């Protein structure tokens, strides 16, 4: 509405104005193009609206709107550029998710989107599903098909649970979860594995600062599911 200098942007920036955008949602969706998002932000900024209406709220003040949208655009551009730089230098997805962060002057709340998820979305937008890490990526036999072999070779679930617990106790919850995944695929109701899994998930929830809604909801549900299975 140019006569009112009002722009309607729907959920272009998600439900929260001025937060890290979400280029992929945990509920399942196609990856949004980072470059298309940046171009859309430029278009709205060029309109110089005095009032901005998204899918949830109304925001007023031309200067504040411009400053906020510019910061979100610049943060997204920064993450895209650093991710592409890392890809071109040969860094793998996991390294980039860990190492690419926003500088303090571009820091944004991460209630809806999350920086490592943006990095992964940018990576997979440009590379697709084949990461060049293993020939097995091209075929229909996942790593989990040999997990029973791992359990058998180490003499049962106990050594894996013990090592997973050691990882958890040492503050390495993701390593713990990798191991409990192996055990629980082999023995879904293993109480000790479920106990370690709950501990690891609880650590991740605490480390998250409970900031990102999707992450918190996922972790809380996983903790609840593990507790229910342990009591079954």
Residues 89 and 162 in one domain: no
Domain end position, chosen among 127, 149, 165: 127
Whether the predicted pLDDT of 232 surpasses 90: no
Residues 105 and 173 in one domain: no
Domain end position, chosen among 106, 127, 148: 127
Whether the predicted pLDDT of 228 surpasses 90: no
Whether the predicted pLDDT of 225 surpasses 90: yes
Residues 16 and 45 in one domain: yes
Residues 187 and 152 in one domain: yes
Residues 27 and 115 in one domain: yes
Angle at 65 between CA 208 and CA 74, to 5 degrees: 60
Cβ within 8 Å of residue 17, ≥6 positions away: 52, 54, 57, 59, 68
Does residue 48 lie within any of the structural domains?
yes
Residues 123 and 8 in one domain: yes
H/E stretch holding 218: helix 213-231
As a whole number of angstroms, the distance between CA 36 and CA 159 comes to 49
Number of domains, the chain = 2
Residues 92 and 57 in one domain: yes
Whether the predicted pLDDT of 126 surpasses 80: yes
H/E stretch holding 84: helix 62-88
Domain end position, chosen among 98, 127, 156: 127
Percent of the chain with pLDDT over 70: 100
E strand intervals along the chain: 6-10, 51-54, 58-60
Confidence of residue 230 (pLDDT cuts 50, 70, 90): confident
As a whole number of angstroms, the distance between CA 97 and CA 83 comes to 9
Does residue 132 lie within any of the structural domains?
no
Average pLDDT over the chain reads 94
Residues 56 and 153 in one domain: no
Residues 188 and 118 in one domain: no
Q: pLDDT per residue over 136-188, tens digit each?
A: 999 999 999 999 999 999 999 999 999 999 999 999 999 999 999 999 999 99
Does residue 57 lie within any of the structural domains?
yes
Residues 117 and 161 in one domain: no
Residue 86 domain boundaries? 2-127
Q: pLDDT per residue over 40-86, tens digit each?
A: 999 999 999 999 999 889 999 999 999 999 999 999 999 999 999 99
Residues 73 and 187 in one domain: no
pLDDT score for 173: 98
Q: pLDDT per residue over 65-78, tens digit each?
A: 999 999 999 999 99
Does residue 134 lie within any of the structural domains?
no
């Amino acid at each position: 509405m140019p006569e009112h200098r009002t722009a309607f942007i729907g959920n272009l920036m998600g439900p929260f104005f001025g937060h890290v955008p979400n280029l992929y949602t945990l509920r399942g969706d196609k990856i949004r193009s980072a470059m298309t998002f940046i171009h859309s932000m430029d278009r709205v900024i060029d309109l110089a609206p005095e009032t901005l209406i998204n899918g949830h709220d109304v925001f007023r003040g031309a200067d504040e709107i411009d400053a906020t949208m510019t910061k979100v655009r610049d943060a997204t551009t920064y993450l895209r550029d650093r991710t592409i730089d890392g890809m071109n230098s040969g860094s793998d997805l996991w390294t980039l998710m860990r190492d690419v962060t926003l500088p303090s002057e571009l820091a944004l709340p991460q209630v809806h989107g999350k920086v490592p998820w943006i990095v992964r979305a940018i990576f997979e937008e440009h590379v697709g599903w084949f990461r060049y890490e293993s020939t097995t990526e091209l075929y229909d036999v996942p790593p989990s098909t040999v997990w029973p072999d791992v359990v058998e070779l180490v003499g049962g679930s106990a050594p894996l649970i013990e090592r997973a617990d050691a990882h958890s106790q040492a503050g390495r919850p993701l390593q713990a979860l990798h191991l409990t995944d192996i055990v629980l695929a082999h023995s879904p109701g293993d109480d000790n594995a479920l106990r370690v899994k709950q501990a690891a998930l609880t650590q991740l929830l605490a480390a998250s600062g409970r900031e990102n809604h999707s992450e918190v909801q996922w972790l809380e549900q996983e903790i609840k599911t593990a507790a229910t299975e342990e009591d079954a």
